Amino acid sequence: MRLFVAVFPPLKIREETLRTARSLLPGDRIRWSRPENIHMTLKFLGDVGEEKLDEVRAALENACADHTPFDARTAGLGAFPSARRARILWAGVGEGSEQLRSLAAHVDAALSRSGFERETRSYEPHLTLGRVRGRPMKLNLPEEAGGDPFEVSRVELVESMLTGTGPIYRTIESFFLGVEKS
């Protein structure tokens, strides 16, 4: 199974963020993400065997128990690798970004104890909104495009199935923040 760990904001927030980005950016060369797939990846695990799932679950329970729910808010649009050579369009996170960084670090540490490779890049919370088709494009990004606040209260372990029409995500299990392991 191809797995990742993520936070999914409420669908209303994802739809509003995508609608704002589409209204501000030229879309003829942009393949926009489906709202139901928009999320903040905390850690990509890659291919994981069924026999490793219990260990992954235990690691995520432990990492999530150390955090309490918190508020977050999208803030600003950006592009990877840069606005001058955009390939991936994203919405950043303002409020709640430090808590998300801490949560991602705890998830990474817990999973590394289960044999998963540690992240080498610094974590920057964002929602991927779309991808540029063909060659990179230059974008004039607006200064700020913030959204409504939302509560981050759980982390999802997600299976990603790649298809010709885009990925299909299936939540395997949800882990609530601040809930002690039983």
The CATH number assigned to the domain holding 40 equals: 3.90.1140.10
Residue 180 vs residue 112, higher pLDDT: 112
Quickly list DSSP for 63-123.
HHHT---EEE-EEEEEEES-GGGBSEEEEEE-TTHHHHHHHHHHHHHHHHTTTPPPP-SPP
Is residue 118 domain-resident? yes
Q: Is 39 assigned a catalytic role?
A: yes
Residue 76 in any domain: the answer is yes
Active site residue 106: no
180 DSSP 8-state letter: P
Mean pLDDT of the chain: 93
Q: Is the pTM of this model over 0.85?
A: yes
Within-domain flag for 31:
yes
Are 78 and 126 in contact by the 8 Å Cβ rule? The answer is yes
* Host domain of residue 75: 2-176
- Dump pLDDT digits (tens) for 82-119: 989 999 999 999 999 999 999 999 999 999 999 999 99
Residue 89, sorted as left (phi over 0), alpha (psi -120 to 50) or beta, turns out to be beta
Secondary structure of residue 2 in the 3-state scheme? strand
pLDDT at residue 112, as a whole number: 97
Whether 127 maps to a domain, the answer reads yes
Residue 181 lies in a domain: no
Structure tokens at 129: 């909104």
Residue 166 scores a pLDDT above 90: no
Residue 181 has pLDDT above 80, yes or no: no
Local structure of 56: helix, strand or coil:
helix
Indicate which residue of 8, 9, 14, 39 is catalytic: 39
In a domain, 182, yes or no: no
Provide the token pair at 111: 């999973």
pLDDT value at 182 more than 60: no
pLDDT value for 28: 84
Q: How many CA atoms lie within 13 A of 168 on its CB side?
A: 5
Whether 18 is covered by a domain: the verdict is yes
* Local confidence band at 148 (pLDDT 50, 70, 90 cut-offs): confident
> Which pLDDT value is given to residue 141?
80
> Does residue 113 fall inside a structural domain?
yes
Is residue 143 very low, low, confident or very high in pLDDT (cuts 50, 70, 90)? low
Catalytic residue chosen out of the listed positions 21, 91, 126, 152 = 126
pLDDT in tens, 23-62: 888 768 899 999 999 999 999 999 999 999 999 999 999 9
pLDDT of residue 16: 93
The pLDDT of residue 32 is 94
Number of domains within the chain? 1
